[in-house]
Structure 1
Amino acid sequence: MLVNRARTLCLGTLLAGLLSSTALAESRYSTIWNLGDSLSDTGRTYARTQSVQNTKDFAKGLFGLGITSGGSSDVVPVGPEYLDGRFSNGKVWVEYLNDTNGAGPYKKDRNLAWGGATAGYNVNNFVAGLIPKVNEQNDDLISTITKKGGFLFFDSKDYKNDASNFGKKPLFTLWIGGNNYRQEVEDTAFTNSGKDPKDVNLAKASQTLLSSIPGEIVRLSEAVRSRSDIAQNGATYYVNTIPNIGTTPKIAQSHADFADALTKEITNTNRQVKERLYQIQDQFDSNKRSERLVVVDAAALLKEVQARPGSFGFKNATDNCVNATTGKYVGACSASNVGDYLFWDEFHPTTKAHAMIADYAWKTDLLEAGDTAELVRPYVANIEIRDRTFAGQITGTGSLIKSGESVLTLAGLNSYAGGTRIDNGTIRIGADANLGARAGLLTLQGGTLNTTQTFTMDRDIALNASVSTGEIGGSKFGATFRTEAGTMLTLRDNTISGSGDLAKTGLGTLDIRSNVTDARALTAVQEGTLKVNTASTYRTTELTVAKGAVLGGSGTIIGTVKNEGTLSPGNSIGTLTIDGNYEQTGNGRILMEVDTNRFDALRVNGNLTVGGGIDLAFDPTDKITNQTFTFASSKGTTSGQFGQVIDLNPFLTETLSYGANSVSMTFNRDFAAPAVTANQRAVARHLNRSYLLEPQGDLDTVFFALDRTETDAAGALALQALSGEAIANTTTADAVQRGQFVRALEDRMADRRVGRVDVQPGIGLEGSWTALDQTGTGPALRAAASGLTRTAPAAGAPDAGELSLWARALGGPGRIGGRNGFDLTHAGILVGADKRLDGALLGVSFGYADGTTNGVSGLNRSWASAYQGSVYGSLDLGPVFVDAVAAYTATENRTARSLVFGDLARTAVGTFGGNDFSGAVKLGTRYQFGALYAEPSLGLDWYRLSRDGFAERSAGSAGLAVRSETHDIVQPSVGVRLSTAFLRDGVLISPELRARYYRNVGDTLSLVTASLIGAPGAPFTTTFAGIGRDTGVISAGLTAQKANLQVFTRYEAAVGSNATAHIFAGGLRYAW
């Protein structure tokens, strides 16, 4: 017995040493207090049974030990192999936990757990009378915390237990529940045998635990918070899940019929208990308490240990080492190999298992707190109900096992070397290092790996059959890879083994470049993109692509591919080979990428069945003209047809052709395809002549931008932008302005011919000239004043032959209509001098004008300045007169054309000069009808408008090299001028009305002949709206004069088939 006890002590010391590797330099918790049953009891029940008579009957009720009259002990547990009254061969888990914490020797008086304890109720009366339930244990603990001192009737404000018994950060543990289910299976009021199965009530046990476990934690936390002198840094509560007694040797040996029911009931209850405990933590957090509740999922740990004992250092996880009735070793177990066993007796774990549980609880605490944790064995993260994040660094030689349906996020740069296994739910990572050392194997067998960033993974991966089918959140797929939108997970320089089915989810990309050693039955691309670029063949009985998902890559797939989503061969441009059949349904599409000399290809070694649609993609920096590519071929049969092809861009059309074993596509480039106007077609012909497959420098940038337009309408607008619209607008605006200046000079001659006189109040219209020289002003000054105020001295006036000076300001808006119309605005001034000579008038004038145009699209503008010199004259032949004008105009022009299409955004700026010659002759007569004068006339106008050649700047090859252009306008005309005058309150009022019709027999359109800068093709010629064939001009004027002051205003409107222009003129005159 001493030898066995020595072995036990040595084993305990060794295990404590292993645990100490995780101990902190400073203890994590100030004190540790324990509640529970035999899994935490360090001798209370043993001591109680020593003092109670008829212990054997008690023991029968306590554990169903079946002690007979031949038993050799009256205490529980039985025999010297149990260490000092513990229900194991050494320390229990709370003692190991204390060693890890490192706050000093373990203090048994802080352990209130009792072997055989239950929660809420007892079935056996012996147990009820002798063993406190966990609720009663908690009563004692709460009393210990809250009880105050005092004597007789004198109360004290001091607590009976000093604060040092708890400290600033106490830890409380609670592990209960196994006995609640055990007693339901085997206990009666007075015995532990012969229980009728119909009396078993597992639901009662579950409901009691579901109420008691969270309820006792709440009561305890309230008691702790009632004292301000303890737990200043917050209390922590470890709550272990209920152990699944359905897998213990006791149930297997004595109550096997209840094993499955117990497993199902306890598993479901644990889940519900977890949920309520999480709600308590929510309340802690909402109240901003520094309290923590750590759910230690011992049930999940022990399940894994029993499934794979070797990973945890055990060889036997099903048999017990000693018999609880006799206290003696059974079977192959002995003191020398007890460390190989998970179970010490039929119901309790060995001390080695206790050490493992303590380490598991401690690591759970560290991981959930975001602290560094060293794994020395597999860690089971059963993440249910709530998602969890392990933000700290995980080190050590151990592994990480993920179960449960929720998401576990690994955020630390981890180095644990044992690998990672995902049985259910999801592990979310942003880097491969989150999964520990590269040598650690990643195993998926029913769970999901979720990646949130782009990275490469070169660790080996095992894809096994799913073990989560039928579980909450379970999957039929052995492996699910979820990549988030905009990210790519690349698997390369590694080996993928295992035959589990694979699913791809998430909107990102999974690129498999690994050596895949095993085949699988199903690969399902449910979301995002799967690229098969495997170093070896990728074998799958069936690969399905869901609607909205994409299959790509340049590897070889052995199996049948069924596409309801998108097939995109290659990685940029490449060939995907299918050693099997390819079936594309009506929802499916193929995305083919092409460039100048290459194209995507699908090679099918079985039968090719096509349907649905085909989409095309290309890099616009790759040039394509009239070419044919065979993109799909099969060695079997080819059946079906694709639907309508979506063109790459408005300038490139495609045609499909079907052969016996292939499908081909022919491309046809035609820049005129989207053109809707003659100008757009003219530009398109120039582009067709200029487009070459070899590099063309910046001109390629223009072609690439055109290829990035997506619709026919956008393509047509791009052609229009290149047509030189603003350049033509300057010529039309110039023609409008030349006509206005000529008519202004004709107005001047008409005013002099009428002989409007200076008058004083009371002088009649027919009166003779009355001198204004009342102040001694000379005849010359009077004549000058008369000219400056746009009036002529009456015939026979003293200064009728003197020189007359005049000036006129004019300006206004206009609009040129049509598809390429524009708005124009201009303003100018004319000054001149003229003199009468024996029935004739001779004069000269100089003019200056500024004008702007703005295309209706808002993308084209021009600015022009005009400098005009003119001579004019009028011959009076009695009732007949002849007026004539000749002028020369020099123009300075600037244009700005916005070129915005595809990804091109440039502004072409042009600067050029112009030379205009204008001439006009009018032949008319004069009639008087009382106070009304009428002047009908015939006329002929001729304008020659010349524009210099130039090259635009600032737009590279999108700019135009523009040739010089000459525009001739020849306009016969007929018109009439009506005028009168009358006095009103001493003011001379002179209204006028003029109308004229012009018929243009010359050029009616404005032309631009140009080519893209650097383009090899012949230039194009585009036509734009001019002043049109027919133009009507109507004007009205009004003059008011009193004494030496004269005020006048005039409005003119020119209206034609294409043009509308307005002139407003005005001024005043002062005579002296």
Structure 2
Amino acid sequence: MSTVSLLALAATPVLAQTWQGATPDWHTPGNWSTGTLPTGATAVTIGAGSPIAPLITAPGATTKTLHIGATGAGQSLTVGAVGVLTTTDYATIGNLAGEIGSARVESGGKWNGTHLDVGFKGSGSFNVSNGGSANFSQFVRTGIFATGVGGITVTGAGTSWNNGNGHVVGDSGRGTYQILAGAKASDRAVTLGYNAGAVGNATVDASKWDIWGALMIGQGGRGDAVVKGGSTVTTSNNVYLGWLAGGKGSLTLDGAGTTLTASGFTGIGWSGEGHVLISNGATYRTGVGAIGYNAAGSRGDLRVTGANSQWLGTGFLIVGSVGVAELTVDSGGAVRIDNGAGLLAIANRAGSTGTVNIGAASGAQALAAGFLDVSEIRLGPGTARLVFNHTDTNYVVSARITGKGTIVHESGTTVLKAANSFTGAMQVTGGLLVAEGSLASFSNVTIGEGGTIGGTGQLPSTTVLGTISPGNSPGTLTVNGNLTMGANSTYVAEIQGAVADRINVTGTAALAGTLRLAFLPGAYSFGTPYTLLSAQGGLGGTRFGTVDSTAGFGAGIGANVAYTANDLLVTLSAKPLAGLVTGPANAHAVAAGLDRAVAGGADPSALFGIYNLPAAAMPAAMNQLSGEVHTAVPAMAFSAADQFLRAMLDPFAAGRETMASGAAAFSDLATRKGAPAQDPAQPLAPAYTVWGAAFGSSGRSNGSAWVGSARRDLDDAHLAVGADLRIAPGTMLGFALSGGSANASLAGGLGKANADIFQAGLYGTTRLGPLNLAAAVGYGVLDTEVKRSVALLGSSLSSSYTTTAWSGRLQASMALADWGGFTVSPLAALQAVQARSPARAETNWAGANAGALVVGKRSDVTSRSELGVQLDYASALGGRALAGYLRAAWAHYYQREASLSASLTGLAGSGFVIDGARAPRNSALLAAGLDLRLSQSVVIGAHLDGELSESARRIGGQARLKVSF
């Protein structure tokens, strides 16, 4: 030291003062050891001299140096209210080992100083809160010596901290720095964990921190920084983690709105070890970045996780420049360099190791993927690995992959879209890799037993131990080299309509393992070969060990695999169906017809949708093809004819003339005593009578489970007119005309039929003593339209034709007894109807024409006998003649023809015969009716009848008007 300096020091001696306050007021002279207030030339010690801590609540407090601390309970200083403390040299809190000191600046207080040491050798704390302000122009340190423990806390809105030189948190001891609850802090430069053995921690929560220099986390010791709660941190320079060998630094950014912005470079693991976690929507903005950057022993990792979490860099991000580095992006986190135009470099120099994980690290439980928004992913000359271990189902990589290293795919579905120039190897050990761009430059691709590769791009020489599935349902995958299929490998080939998956191999293909054929919906053709693989260098006589055609194809489709010297071909064929459809009889008949057609060389491609069903669904499909609804047409003819015949042979026919002339109903019905005498007072019976009737019915016939016929519902309605001509007493002849319509439908959506019906008939009745005889014949024309759908083929089919029907009925009854107006008569009848329909081809009315039938010409006869009894009643109502009857009969059917012969359009030899729902063999006929004479010449009547059996029921009704002349 120079003489001038010594003289200067001698001229300005430092006065030592000790706090001995009897009160807390700093500004009371008696509280100081010298009895005077400290000045800017005073070295002040606030220690064990008094148990009362000083309080500054007014401006003007000044010292040169300040030491706060004492052993035991320690000592403290508070600057509050409008108090202002100025220290012109070092302020030390917790100066000596074992001392404890604290300082608080609060409630508007202010401390202006130069240097500040908190926890020099002892323990110290410095707290700024509730609007307080602390300003230091020189270095600030916490935890200076190894024994020192110091902490600085800045908390609360309106609270501020300003440091104009440098801030070391944990110099050689332990230091903490907290900026909390809306406070603002500013530092010239910051180091956490300065020397080896030091520990420095910084926490920023819901606050703002500006650093006018570099932020160094873990220079030679350990540094940890946590920024959360929407805090904002800015640095005007670089950020380093793990600066020196042995230095360890960690940085966590967490929460939406939390941001760290570094204007310069960010080095994670510069020469030591660094770790950065960006989570839950936080953002890190920086210039270029490097992980494991400066020394061979450096290590670093960066993880960006959670939706909206981001690393936003410029230029490039190096993952492993000289040391060991790892980058993980998962669960929606993103790394973006130059808004997608930048470079991600992995293991940038020889000797370095770099790994980038999309999702989770290799071997770990897969996580949702994060995003790499870069234009190029470069695997450098070091040990470079790119790992895909995620759970996404469509993770797209648009960046070019270049360089040389290893790419590993363990989980998830990843789509590589770029024209890559990467020359290293790729291993797909799990998940699905979709090659949409070019991988041809890769040295090789190996698909492990748990992995799958697909797409329509280009591959290099490829070894498949797992699964290869080209295309995007379907498509072509090109192998620029050789293809080797392992013994446990699988080639999944999707076939859709006229196209199929395909692998083109420029070299050789060695086949083994399983070929699995998968069907996708489409328009197919039998007999057309699909090329599933073609190898320019040949197959070398190799074959797939197993062919699995169960994935998607139905029970009726066969896949015939063939090999040539260079190609793998598969041709679809129609399997015989009769063996699959052994019942019911109708379904079997249709299946057998198809088999005959196919055996004869017919092409059933139009019925592919039928053949592609599982075996259990085949019988129902055969029923859709059968056209059973056509069997409803003769049933409509029989129902119409039956009602028309009975309308002509009205149960009151024998009494028409007497009812018309005013006699009691059935008064001329023969009795056991013979014919009644003509009453001379009665006028002669009218010569003729005209009548009109409306009749209809609704019924249901159940099908046969053995036959496989469907339940049929049938409804019809008709109007008829007729005329009676009396040619002799008790004998009449007549004719009638009828018009109406009928509708029928089959259960299960098997079709509908409707018809407009015209009928004409002749009839006659006579009485021979107690015996009544009647007969009627009819002729009907049905203009019929039949519609049905084959939903499995998308077909809606129709046909229109004319069916004619001849019908006849004979009936007899005999009055055996009468008493009190009642008459009992047994009765018997025979009835037959023949319906004839022409051959007709169905046509399409909406949709495809597949499944259309050519229906054969047919004649269906239904005949039955009836035996029963009828109870008649004759009386008067209000002076008008009233007649009624009840009838019960047993009907026995002899002929119940309901067959249909048909063949499928375009399939020669496909003819078959099926049966529809038949009339029951035996049934009960029940009927009741009333006639009422309204005047001398007008009679009205109503009738109700039904047919009941265990498999069918029908209910009909009739209303009648008769006018006599």
Q: Tell me whether the two structures share a fold, i.e. TM-score over 0.5.
A: yes
* Partner AA of 1:446 in structure 2: T
**Whole-Å separation in 2 of the counterparts to 1:820 and 1:608:** 51
User: Residue 648 and residue 882 in structure 1: after superposition, are their counterparts in 2 closer, same or farther (change >3 A)?
Assistant: same
| Offset from partner CA, 1:393-420 (integer Å, 9 cap, x none) | x8x9746879543426679999944357
**1:58 matched to which residue of 2?**
none
- Contact residue 464 and residue 479 of structure 1 kept, 8 A: no
Q: Which of these residues, 899, 909, 916, is aligned with residue 804 of structure 2?
A: 916
**Whole-Å separation in 1 of the counterparts to 2:387 and 2:198:** 34
Matches within 5 A, 1:611-760: 614-617=516-519, 620-625=522-527, 641=546, 645-646=550-551, 648-654=553-559, 667-670=572-575, 672=577, 675=581, 679-680=586-587, 703=607, 705-706=609-610, 711-714=614-617, 716-748=619-651, 750-752=653-655
- Contact residue 727 and residue 733 of structure 2 kept, 8 A: yes
**Whole-Å separation in 1 of the counterparts to 2:180 and 2:156:** 19
State whether structure 2 residue 690 is matched by structure 1 residue 826.
no
- Contact residue 556 and residue 613 of structure 2 kept, 8 A: no
**Whole-Å separation in 1 of the counterparts to 2:411 and 2:91:** 49
**Whole-Å separation in 1 of the counterparts to 2:303 and 2:594:** 61
Given the two structures, how large is their TM-score scaled by the length of structure 1? Answer: 0.58
Structure 1 residues not aligned, in runs of 5+: 1-47, 56-73, 77-108, 146-165, 185-204, 225-234, 252-260, 282-291, 307-316, 320-346, 350-356, 468-475, 770-791
Q: Which of these residues, 116, 128, 152, is aligned with residue 131 of structure 1?
A: 116
Structure 2 residues not aligned, in runs of 5+: 1-37, 46-63, 67-83, 104-114, 135-154, 201-216, 269-273, 292-299, 320-324, 348-353, 360-366, 671-675, 704-708
* Partner AA of 1:1023 in structure 2: I
* Partner AA of 2:239 in structure 1: L
**1:891 matched to which residue of 2?**
782
- Contact residue 417 and residue 437 of structure 1 kept, 8 A: no
**1:515 matched to which residue of 2?**
421
**Whole-Å separation in 2 of the counterparts to 1:528 and 1:348:** 39
Name the SS for the 1:874 alignment partner: strand
Name the SS for the 1:142 alignment partner: coil
**Whole-Å separation in 1 of the counterparts to 2:620 and 2:550:** 23
User: Residue 1010 and residue 170 in structure 1: after superposition, are their counterparts in 2 closer, same or farther (change >3 A)?
Assistant: farther
* Partner AA of 1:217 in structure 2: L
- Contact residue 927 and residue 933 of structure 1 kept, 8 A: yes
Quote the offset at 1:1034 in angstroms: 0.5
**1:842 matched to which residue of 2?**
733
Higher strand content, 1 or 2: 2
| Offset from partner CA, 1:675-709 (integer Å, 9 cap, x none) | 555655666677779999x999xx97x556557x5
* Partner AA of 2:818 in structure 1: G
- Contact residue 531 and residue 553 of structure 1 kept, 8 A: yes
User: Residue 765 and residue 238 in structure 1: after superposition, are their counterparts in 2 closer, same or farther (change >3 A)?
Assistant: farther
| Offset from partner CA, 1:994-1016 (integer Å, 9 cap, x none) | 42534344x6124263644xx46
| Offset from partner CA, 1:27-75 (integer Å, 9 cap, x none) | xxxxxxxxxxxxxxxxxxxxx99978899xxxxxxxxxxxxxxxxxx99
**Whole-Å separation in 1 of the counterparts to 2:86 and 2:921:** 113
Quote the offset at 1:980 in angstroms: 2.6
Deviation larger for 938-947 or 168-177: 168-177
**Whole-Å separation in 2 of the counterparts to 1:178 and 1:427:** 35
* Partner AA of 1:405 in structure 2: R
**2:947 matched to which residue of 1?**
1054
Matches within 5 A, 1:372-411: 377=265, 384=277, 386-388=279-281, 398=288, 403-407=301-305
**1:499 matched to which residue of 2?**
405
**Whole-Å separation in 2 of the counterparts to 1:418 and 1:403:** 16
State whether structure 2 residue 529 is matched by structure 1 residue 591.
no
User: Residue 759 and residue 880 in structure 1: after superposition, are their counterparts in 2 closer, same or farther (change >3 A)?
Assistant: closer
Name the SS for the 1:245 alignment partner: coil
State whether structure 2 residue 183 is matched by structure 1 residue 217.
no
Quote the offset at 1:296 in angstroms: 6.5
User: Residue 1063 and residue 382 in structure 1: after superposition, are their counterparts in 2 closer, same or farther (change >3 A)?
Assistant: farther
Higher helix content, 1 or 2: 1
Flag the structure with more relative contact order, 1 or 2, with Cα contacts below 8 A and sequence separation at least 6: 1
**1:1005 matched to which residue of 2?**
898
- Contact residue 1004 and residue 1029 of structure 1 kept, 8 A: no
**2:388 matched to which residue of 1?**
480
State whether structure 2 residue 241 is matched by structure 1 residue 303.
yes
User: Residue 385 and residue 981 in structure 1: after superposition, are their counterparts in 2 closer, same or farther (change >3 A)?
Assistant: same
**Whole-Å separation in 2 of the counterparts to 1:399 and 1:503:** 26
Quote the offset at 1:1047 in angstroms: 7.1
Quote the offset at 1:570 in angstroms: 5.3
State whether structure 2 residue 355 is matched by structure 1 residue 446.
yes
* Partner AA of 1:484 in structure 2: D
Name the SS for the 1:733 alignment partner: helix
- Contact residue 92 and residue 116 of structure 2 kept, 8 A: yes
Deviation larger for 602-611 or 893-902: 602-611
* Partner AA of 1:497 in structure 2: G
**Whole-Å separation in 1 of the counterparts to 2:768 and 2:85:** 137
- Contact residue 796 and residue 848 of structure 2 kept, 8 A: no
**2:194 matched to which residue of 1?**
245
**Whole-Å separation in 2 of the counterparts to 1:112 and 1:503:** 63
Quote the offset at 1:856 in angstroms: 0.9
**Whole-Å separation in 2 of the counterparts to 1:449 and 1:175:** 42
**1:142 matched to which residue of 2?**
131
Q: Percent identity?
A: 14
User: Residue 127 and residue 937 in structure 1: after superposition, are their counterparts in 2 closer, same or farther (change >3 A)?
Assistant: closer
* Partner AA of 1:872 in structure 2: Y
Quote the offset at 1:583 in angstroms: 4.1
- Contact residue 481 and residue 510 of structure 1 kept, 8 A: no
**Whole-Å separation in 2 of the counterparts to 1:739 and 1:539:** 87
| Offset from partner CA, 1:576-631 (integer Å, 9 cap, x none) | 7695864465xx754123476866459897986637x8342356335343769786
State whether structure 2 residue 847 is matched by structure 1 residue 955.
yes
Number of paired residues?
780
- Contact residue 654 and residue 766 of structure 2 kept, 8 A: no
- Contact residue 452 and residue 487 of structure 1 kept, 8 A: no
**Whole-Å separation in 1 of the counterparts to 2:378 and 2:947:** 86
- Contact residue 733 and residue 853 of structure 1 kept, 8 A: yes
Quote the offset at 1:485 in angstroms: 2.7
**1:811 matched to which residue of 2?**
696
User: Residue 176 and residue 678 in structure 1: after superposition, are their counterparts in 2 closer, same or farther (change >3 A)?
Assistant: farther
Matches within 5 A, 1:413-424: 416-418=314-316, 423-424=326-327
Name the SS for the 2:424 alignment partner: coil
| Offset from partner CA, 1:622-646 (integer Å, 9 cap, x none) | 5343769786997699896567843
**Whole-Å separation in 1 of the counterparts to 2:617 and 2:88:** 81
- Contact residue 446 and residue 465 of structure 1 kept, 8 A: no
- Contact residue 518 and residue 539 of structure 1 kept, 8 A: yes
Matches within 5 A, 1:174-189: 181-184=170-173
Q: RMSD of the alignment, in Å?
A: 6.2
- Contact residue 735 and residue 1027 of structure 1 kept, 8 A: no
Matches within 5 A, 1:55-70: none
**Whole-Å separation in 1 of the counterparts to 2:280 and 2:411:** 19
**Whole-Å separation in 1 of the counterparts to 2:806 and 2:564:** 69
Quote the offset at 1:1025 in angstroms: 1.0
- Contact residue 397 and residue 416 of structure 2 kept, 8 A: yes
**1:851 matched to which residue of 2?**
742
Given the two structures, how large is their TM-score scaled by the length of structure 2? Answer: 0.64
User: Residue 732 and residue 172 in structure 1: after superposition, are their counterparts in 2 closer, same or farther (change >3 A)?
Assistant: farther
| Offset from partner CA, 1:950-986 (integer Å, 9 cap, x none) | 6342234247365573433152524334223265998
User: Residue 238 and residue 704 in structure 1: after superposition, are their counterparts in 2 closer, same or farther (change >3 A)?
Assistant: farther
* Partner AA of 2:733 in structure 1: L
**Whole-Å separation in 2 of the counterparts to 1:1050 and 1:582:** 82
**Whole-Å separation in 1 of the counterparts to 2:220 and 2:808:** 110
